[in-house]
Amino acid sequence: MFDGVEEIWLDGEFVDFEDAQIHVLTHALHYGTGVFEGVRCYDTDRGPAIFRWEEHLDRLYSSAEVYDIDIPYTKAELDEATRELIDRENLDSGYIRPIAFYGYGPLGLNPQQSPVQVALAVWPWGAYLGDEALEEGVDVAVSSWRKYSSSQIPTNAKTTGTYVNSVLASLEAKGNGYEEAIVLNKEGNVAEGPGENLFLVRDGELYTTGLAESILDGITRRTVIELAEEMGYTVHDDATISRGELYTADELFFSGTAAEITPIRTVDDNEIGTGTKGPVTDEIQQRFFEVVEEGQPEAWFTPV
């Protein structure tokens, strides 16, 4: 994955890839006290551009605020450093990982005496679940692990430590021969995938779980909602979806920065629709890739 990556931006400096190191007593390593984003740069018709970068930066800083992580750089500074890093790595397209975390300091649950460190990495990355998955869809299973509630841990923050929940669901699914998982919330209704939001198609209308269902407010999710409505679809973006509704859906698909628009062909070995990418999913997926190829609308893209 990282073959050919030469530099990382770490705490205000560009350092060689192999020198981008932190102390083993880093607070975030022990307690998961970090926040991050996953962002894509696309090779558009107007040149390399970062997709919905401003929204990703806004969410990074909002996530940091939840944990009293005072990021010691402005959004403008991170923007400039990211675009320079992409240029230094000679990337036309790829994946961007900004991360801010409590670093080496006194160990203990209170991190406030630990310094805040920030890193940026970029690397080439294709389809998260594979090129074939974008066309043929993926086989998924409902996980036995539940998504945590916002009354336990803030679900609106993209936090390093909370992703152990996603790791467990993903390990379980892959260990049982599936490509991905669907995670239910504490009430037993659908939340999302381990790293994706979920859309259900029924009678030509789209349904996606609402923010109160213990989901992350996905930026690709927002994009799908906007594009689908522009295309004339009715979108129910505050839906409660039961587990049983998954099995009777006309179509299902994941959305996410990494997954982009990935069809779901089976859930728990139950075929969804015809067991292939459905027509609504196909149309929305095509429109999404048109947008990132054209680099339009301009407001969604930050030129490198």
Looking from the CA of 150 toward its CB, the CA atoms found within 13 Å total 14
Q: Which of 158, 174, 186, 277 is catalytic?
A: 158
Distance CA 248, CA 254 (A): 17
Per DSSP, 29 falls in state H
- Determine whether 277 is an active site residue: no
211 Rama class: left (phi>0) / alpha (psi -120 to 50) / beta: alpha
Contacts of 283 by beta carbon, 8 Å cutoff, 6+ apart:
231
Angle among Cα 179, 161, 77 to the nearest 5 degrees reads 100
Mutual angle of helices 279-294 and 219-230, in 10-degree steps: 110
Distance CA 160, CA 164 (A): 8
Give the H/E segment covering residue 50: strand 47-51
Contacts of 273 by beta carbon, 8 Å cutoff, 6+ apart:
249, 250, 251
Residue 137 class from Cβ within 10 Å (0-12 exposed, 13-18 middle, 19+ buried)? buried
Which active-site residues does the annotation give?
A: 158
